[in-house]
């Protein structure tokens, strides 16, 4: 392929807008972890802002893409150090927003060790809480996704495994009954992969991410696609939400080399993110082994 021209990575692209909400006390600029675009001109993101203990929920108006501007924010009380608030949780816990999934005027926000916060965002400038559910403790926290399945009044909520050998405890994917939005109730969990001894395999064992039914992708309220890190990719059928069942799985082979440069890391797969396109092709990234594309037979 040596005859191909050298790539010009700036070709046909130019910066038209930038939003900078501030920086951290240590001098690092604002960090945005993950966002969700709303139909129209609103963008919702988790952002680490100066004066806060961790990532919070912010609303950005994109009606003028050359001048995006923050119009609203919400945080769990006690996160705003700049306002004199004092954290009320254990030092080892993380009360920070991973990201929110937006459905209409409601944002379903995953707050790591603080569980799930459901926000009313009808007033984009003043998000207000509808309900806060936290199951950590007794469970290990790490809430990563809160996926609404509005046509069935269900929520699928995933807790991420973040330590090796389940040192942070058994992490689960929960099914919530959401018929009463102010009182979501857990009714089931997805079965944990058990056909091998994944706990001692090395690396992280447990959920990391689910396919989020984003616009333009496969949208299903019965099939849940998840990554389980060293246990690969799993597909669950929740036709009966009280009894989810696994209907498909693929555990990629051991990687030939590691992208993880930390010392003494096990040479194992770590399936991370998953996306399913409208045709049903499943794309799964692995931060040790690259990209896998598969289909459910």
Is 75 among the domain residues? yes
Can you give the pTM of this predicted structure?
0.91
Note the pLDDT of residue 130: 98
pLDDT at 141 over 70: yes
Percent of the chain beyond pLDDT 70?
90
Which domain CATH number covers 231? 2.130.10.10
> 5: pLDDT confidence band, cut at 50, 70 and 90?
low
pLDDT at 258 over 60: yes
Is 285 among the domain residues? no
Region of 37 please: left (phi>0), alpha (psi -120 to 50) or beta: beta
Domain tally for the chain? 1
Instruction: Confirm if 293 and 253 have CB atoms less than 8 A apart.
Output: no
pLDDT at 120 over 80: yes
> Which residue is listed with tokens 């060293």?
230
Q: Is 11 helix (H, G, I), strand (E, B) or coil?
A: coil
Is 231 among the domain residues? yes
Instruction: Confirm if 98 and 46 have CB atoms less than 8 A apart.
Output: yes
Q: Is 73 helix (H, G, I), strand (E, B) or coil?
A: strand
Is 123 among the domain residues? yes
Between residues 170 and 92, the one the model is more confident about: 170
Rounded to the nearest integer, the mean pLDDT of the chain is 91
Is 88 among the domain residues? yes
Is 197 among the domain residues? yes
Is 24 among the domain residues? no
Residue 184 CA, distance from chain mean position: 19
For the ranges 22-26, 171-175, 204-208, the lowest mean pLDDT is seen at 22-26
Is 223 among the domain residues? yes
By C-alpha distance, which of 134, 22, 120, 24 is closest to 74? 120
CA distance 172 to 14: 42
By C-alpha distance, which of 191, 190, 202, 196 is closest to 163? 202
Q: Work out the average pLDDT over 166-194.
A: 98
Note the pLDDT of residue 7: 53
Note the pLDDT of residue 25: 42
pLDDT at 114 over 50: yes
- Tell me: the pLDDT tens digits for 17-59? 776 654 444 433 456 777 776 667 899 999 999 999 999 999 9
Note the pLDDT of residue 9: 55
Query: Could you list the residue range(s) of the whole structural domain that residue 91 is in?
Result: 31-253
Q: Which residues contact 217 (CB under 8 A, 6 or more apart)?
A: 211, 275, 276, 277, 278
Q: Which residues contact 160 (CB under 8 A, 6 or more apart)?
A: 98, 142, 143, 144, 171, 206, 207, 208, 209
């Amino acid at each position: 392929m040596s005859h191909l021209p050298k790539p010009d990575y700036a070709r046909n692209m130019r910066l038209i807008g930038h939003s900078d909400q501030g920086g951290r006390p240590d001098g690092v600029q604002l960090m945005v972890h993950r966002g969700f675009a709303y139909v129209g001109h609103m963008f919702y993101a988790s952002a680490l802002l100066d004066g806060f203990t961790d990532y919070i929920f912010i609303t950005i108006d994109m009606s003028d893409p050359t001048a995006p501007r923050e119009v609203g924010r919400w945080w769990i009380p006690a996160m705003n150090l700049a306002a004199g608030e004092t954290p009320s949780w254990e030092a080892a816990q993380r009360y920070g927003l991973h990201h929110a999934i937006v459905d209409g005027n409601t944002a379903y926000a995953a707050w790591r060790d603080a569980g799930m916060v459901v926000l009313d965002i009808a007033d984009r400038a003043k998000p207000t809480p509808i309900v806060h559910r936290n199951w950590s403790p007794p469970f290990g926290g790490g809430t990563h996704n809160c996926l609404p399945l509005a046509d069935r009044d269900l929520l699928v909520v995933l807790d991420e495994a973040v330590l090796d050998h389940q040192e942070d405890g058994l992490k689960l994917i929960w099914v919530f009954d959401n018929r009463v939005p102010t009182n979501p109730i857990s009714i089931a969990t997805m079965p944990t992969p058990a056909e091998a001894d994944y706990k001692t395999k090395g690396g992280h064992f447990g959920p990391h991410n689910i396919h989020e039914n984003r616009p333009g992708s496969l949208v299903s309220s019965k099939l849940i696609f998840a990554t389980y890190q060293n246990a690969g990719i799993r597909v669950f059928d929740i036709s009966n939400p009280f009894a989810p069942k696994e209907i498909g799985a693929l555990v990629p082979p051991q990687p030939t080399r590691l992208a993880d440069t930390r010392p003494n890391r096990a040479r194992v797969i770590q399936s991370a993110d998953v996306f399913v396109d409208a045709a049903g092709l499943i794309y799964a990234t692995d931060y040790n082994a690259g990209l896998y594309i598969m289909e459910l037979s």
